[in-house]
């Protein structure tokens, strides 16, 4: 990795500092290392400058700076990009983290939220009024990235993807214009930002539709994993009421303090589940899962919805090999494949994460948004942590082999889980007509590909 400091002939930090309301951080400044850190380990970019923007005017000014200097622009909200796109080497980072305004219309059940918020922060704010929107499984993920890519989480079967609840957005485009984008105003751009990622501009605010989601029945259920239990779990998730969304992580049981030591490291189904409806009905809906095997731990209970986002360690930056894909079914043979591959790996942390989709997500037409995989039934993420370069190669081979064995002919990929995997994988996220349409919108709003440090849709 090249070490870069701002070239004063291109960029004078003292000069630009006075032109922003937000904080401008250069390589010589205290706090630079903390400011450039992103979630994924092994991403060590050293930008020439980080601008922690305060408002849309600052955003437009950063865009102008990137155009004037020709320096590469990274756009960062929560910093969780698997490809490390939230930082760069020698370029400009537009960091939205300090933009956390929330404008809630409780009666109308909508909220305008600035894109520096995390999923957890916004969920806590709306939960104070018994309202929610679904994001993903992790509270520290930024609403910026997760929304623009789709958003698959604990309300997905009941209320759809995050984008299925996006009513409008404010976007600063490559020419510095602030646009309000919705179904009537710039409908082509509104279509593209619902799944097309950060290709079209910088979103400063999103308006979401909220749902009455107050006390839910959910939490963590830990079951012993075998081919039989994994297949049974997935069958139960498929037939469960739509209120129930489950994320089944088949992985070595973590050394949880309340888990007897003999189970630590044994293969388990670490399931995170939410029933977004009447808690009593939720308890009933969980019974088929509890009946699969004697749980190793059962923490399912009535709880306020945001409790599904427990506190996180901000210093957690794992290095992982990972790949995302979709499959149709987890029958006994598929479950055997899953167990066999997990048993064959020596990674301290290795997982096949299985998410049953369908429900509200599947009722949206495939061409209504740039997330086109509406009929794909189960989202899978295979991942293994690694330690060092040699181990990375071994773990990437394991992931590739595992995914090959799981392949059931669905070529789709979910863009928010794609890492730095090359152009073909971006194309897999956007099949056929979706790709053509994204390119057309890109040509109109970002013909010079200013926003290219992302899962890129080039204009030509
Ligand atoms: C631990 C973990 C758990 C996850 N769980 C889920 C999950 O359950 N469900 C799910 O759907 N996804 C999940 N994801 C994936 C996540 O949605 C994506 O990584 C997402 O891009 C992260 O958004 P961010 O704002 O935190 O990341 P950033 O790195 O800040 O942004 C990612 C990219 O999004 C674009 N971007 C971000 N904000 C803006 C903006 N305001 N305007 C324009 N472009 C922007 C940029 O291109 C940027 O490079 C998870 C990721 C991690 C690391």
Q: Which atom of ligand 1 is nearest to the CA of 417?
A: 15
Q: Which atom of ligand 1 is nearest to the CA of 145?
A: 23
pLDDT at 3: 42
48 CB contacts (<8 Å, ≥6 apart)? Answer: 4, 5, 6, 7, 10, 11, 26, 27, 71, 90, 91, 92
pLDDT at 2: 41
Confidence band of 195 (pLDDT split at 50, 70, 90) = very high
Ligand 1 centre distance from Cα of residue 144 (Å): 7
Pairing verdict, β 102-105 and 92-95: unpaired
Confidence band of 10 (pLDDT split at 50, 70, 90) = confident
Residue 107: both structure tokens together: 């009666």
Percent of the chain having pLDDT more than 90? 96
Ligand 1 centre distance from Cα of residue 138 (Å): 11
Confidence band of 116 (pLDDT split at 50, 70, 90) = very high
| Helix axis angle, 389-406 to 332-344, nearest 10° | 170
pLDDT at 1: 38
User: Is it the case that residue 105 has pLDDT exceeding 90?
Assistant: yes
CA distances for 213 relative to 276, 280, 322, 346, 412, angstroms: 6, 14, 32, 41, 31
372 CB contacts (<8 Å, ≥6 apart)? Answer: 195, 366, 412, 430, 431, 434
CB-side neighbour CA atoms (13 Å) of 208: 33
Residue in 117, 145, 205 to alter for ligand 1 test, most ligand atoms within 8 A of Cβ: 145
Using a 6 Å cutoff on CB, does residue 146 contact ligand 1?
yes
Q: What are the DSSP calls for 315-345, one per residue?
A: T----EEEEEEEES---HHHHHHHHHHHHH-
pLDDT digits (tens, 9 = 90+) for 251-276: 999 999 999 999 999 999 999 999 99
Give the number of other CB atoms < 10 A from CB of residue 130.
15
Nearest-5° angle of CA 445, CA 175, CA 10? 125
Q: Give the residue whose CA is nearest to atom 2 of ligand 1.
A: 138
Q: Which atom of ligand 1 is nearest to the CA of 76?
A: 30
Ligand 1 centre distance from Cα of residue 141 (Å): 6
pLDDT digits (tens, 9 = 90+) for 274-301: 999 999 999 999 999 999 999 999 999 9
The helix or strand, by DSSP H or E, that contains position 145, with its residue range, turns out to be helix 143-149
Residue 266: both structure tokens together: 């044994």
Q: Are 248 and 234 in contact (CB under 8 A)?
A: yes
Q: To the nearest whole number, what is the mean pLDDT of the chain?
A: 96
pLDDT digits (tens, 9 = 90+) for 301-355: 999 999 999 999 988 999 999 999 999 999 999 999 999 999 999 999 999 999 9
Confidence band of 11 (pLDDT split at 50, 70, 90) = confident
d(CA 67, CA 13): 16
pLDDT digits (tens, 9 = 90+) for 127-185: 999 999 999 999 999 999 999 999 999 999 999 999 999 999 999 999 999 999 999 99
CA distances for 182 relative to 33, 186, 192, 256, 455, angstroms: 38, 7, 11, 45, 23
Using a 6 Å cutoff on CB, does residue 419 contact ligand 1?
no
pLDDT at 9: 67
Q: Give the residue whose CA is nearest to atom 8 of ligand 1.
A: 136
In residues, how long is the chain? 460
421, with CB counted inside 10 A (0-12, 13-18, 19+), is: middle
Mean pLDDT of 207-226: 98
pLDDT at 8: 60
Ligand 1 centre distance from Cα of residue 90 (Å): 22
Q: Give the residue whose CA is nearest to atom 38 of ligand 1.
A: 144
pLDDT digits (tens, 9 = 90+) for 59-76: 999 999 999 999 999 999
d(CA 398, CA 404): 10
**For the whole prediction, is pTM greater than 0.95?**
yes
412, with CB counted inside 10 A (0-12, 13-18, 19+), is: middle
Confidence band of 7 (pLDDT split at 50, 70, 90) = low
């Amino acid at each position: 990795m090249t070490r870069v400091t701002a070239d004063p002939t291109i960029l004078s930090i003292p000069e630009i500092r006075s032109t922003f309301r937000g904080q401008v951080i250069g390589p010589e400044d205290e706090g630079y290392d903390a400011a450039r850190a992103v979630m994924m380990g092994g991403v060590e970019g050293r930008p020439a400058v980080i601008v922690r923007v305060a408002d849309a005017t600052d955003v437009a000014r950063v865009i102008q700076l990137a155009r004037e200097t020709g320096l590469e622009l990274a756009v960062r909200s929560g910093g969780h990009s698997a490809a490390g796109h939230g930082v760069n080497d020698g370029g400009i980072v537009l960091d939205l983290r300090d933009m956390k305004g929330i404008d809630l219309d409780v009666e109308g059940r909508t909220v305008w939220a600035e894109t520096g918020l995390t999923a957890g922060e916004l969920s806590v704010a709306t939960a104070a009024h018994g309202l929610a929107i679904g994001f993903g499984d992790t509270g520290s993920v930024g609403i910026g990235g997760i929304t623009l890519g789709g958003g698959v989480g604990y309300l997905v079967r009941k209320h759809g993807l995050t984008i299925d609840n996006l009513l409008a957005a404010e976007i600063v485009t490559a020419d510095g214009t602030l646009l309000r984008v919705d179904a009537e105003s710039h409908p082509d751009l509104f279509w593209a930002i619902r799944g097309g990622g950060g290709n079209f501009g910088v979103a400063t605010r999103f308006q979401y539709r909220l749902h009455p989601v107050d006390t839910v029945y959910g939490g963590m259920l830990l079951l012993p994993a075998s081919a039989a239990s994994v297949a049974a779990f997935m069958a139960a998730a498929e037939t469960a009421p739509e209120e129930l969304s489950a994320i089944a992580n088949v992985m070595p049981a973590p050394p949880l303090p309340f888990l007897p030591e003999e189970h630590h490291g044994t293969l388990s189904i670490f399931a995170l589940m939410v029933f977004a409806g009447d808690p009593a009905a939720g308890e009933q809906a969980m019974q088929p899962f509890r009946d699969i095997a004697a749980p190793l731990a059962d923490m399912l209970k009535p709880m306020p919805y945001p409790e599904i986002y427990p506190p996180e360690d901000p210093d957690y930056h794992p290095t992982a090999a990972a790949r995302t894909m979709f499959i149709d079914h987890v029958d006994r043979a598929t479950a055997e494949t899953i167990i066999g591959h997990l048993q064959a790996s020596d990674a301290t942390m290795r997982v096949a994460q299985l998410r049953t989709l369908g429900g509200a997500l599947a009722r949206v037409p495939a061409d209504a948004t740039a997330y086109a995989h509406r009929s794909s039934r189960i989202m899978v993420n295979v991942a293994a942590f690694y330690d060092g370069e040699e181990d990375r190669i071994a773990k990437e081979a394991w992931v590739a082999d595992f995914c090959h064995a799981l392949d059931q002919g669905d070529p789709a990929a979910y863009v928010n889980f794609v890492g730095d995997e090359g152009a073909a994988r971006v194309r897999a996220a956007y099949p056929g007509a979706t790709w053509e349409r994204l390119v057309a919108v890109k040509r109109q709003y970002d013909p010079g590909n200013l926003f290219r440090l992302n899962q890129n849709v080039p204009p030509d």
